Amino acid sequence: MRIAGRVALVTGASSGIGRAAALRLAEAGARLVLHGRDRRRLSALAGRTGGFPVPGDLAEPEEAGRLAAEAGRLAGGVDILVNNAGVGWAGPFSGMAPSDIERLVAVNLVAPMRLTRALLPAMCARRDGCVMFVTSIAGRTGVAGEAVYAATKAGLDSFAESLRLETRGSGVGIGVFVPGVVQTEFFQRRGRPYERRSPRPLPVDRVADLLVETIATGAAERYAPAWLRLPVAVRGAAPGLYRWLAARFG
């Protein structure tokens, strides 16, 4: 897909993968609509990229609809939607408050569905556009201590795959970007830092490069790093072996 001159809406743009991807999209010539919760960071990014800042919280039920309307008012529509915003939570499921469950489901799963529902019809009518979902390797394999987070990302995977089949021949690309461990503030915000020696976190700028490349090439999915396909393949081909290895090595 040609990125130059297109309008790209990036959620979760005030930090992490979203911010880095927005910078890469701007370098590629996209016009940006930037959504995030941190007004100061969002404003600074907008000043750097020339984008339109739209601060807000996707945990709010009406926020996705408001964001879609604002994108139309400010930029005249959206050609590329990057559903990147997400929140995490780490710890035993039995210790998770119901409000935290609801927030993860609202931000990670319901909001991307609502935002896609608001913007996809116009893309299909133009027979041109791209909807990219940033999921997680947790959604492909499951992770102890992140049961709800993994479930929301698995749901997003299934939603994207189903949507891809439904929109086949429409001219709109549906993509899934599956990152592993990335050098962002995500782990501090989820309540537990990343403490494993391997795999080593990927630089966020490298991840953003791969994400924008996935949009440009129209690929259906992309792992970052590519070797993450291996545990997913093992889980599919030999689930018993995968569960033993996961229990043994984490």
Q: List, by residue number, the catalytic residues.
A: 149
Report how far apart, in Å, the C-alpha atoms of 208 and of each of 72, 87, 90, 100, 229 are: 25, 18, 24, 28, 19
The helix or strand, by DSSP H or E, that contains position 2, with its residue range, turns out to be none
Structure tokens at 143: 């992770």
Classify 12 as helix, strand or coil: coil
**How far apart are alpha carbons 12 and 98 in whole angstroms?**
23
Instruction: Give ∠ CA 17-134-195 in degrees, rounded to 5.
Output: 60
Classify 78 as helix, strand or coil: coil
Report how far apart, in Å, the C-alpha atoms of 64 and of each of 107, 110, 234 are: 10, 9, 37
| Widest distance between CA atoms in the chain | 53
What residues have CB less than 8 Å from 26, skipping those under 6 apart? Answer: 32, 48, 49, 50, 51
Q: How far is CA 3 from the centre of its chain?
A: 18
Note whether 54 and 32 are within 8 A (CB): no
**How far apart are alpha carbons 250 and 232 in whole angstroms?**
14
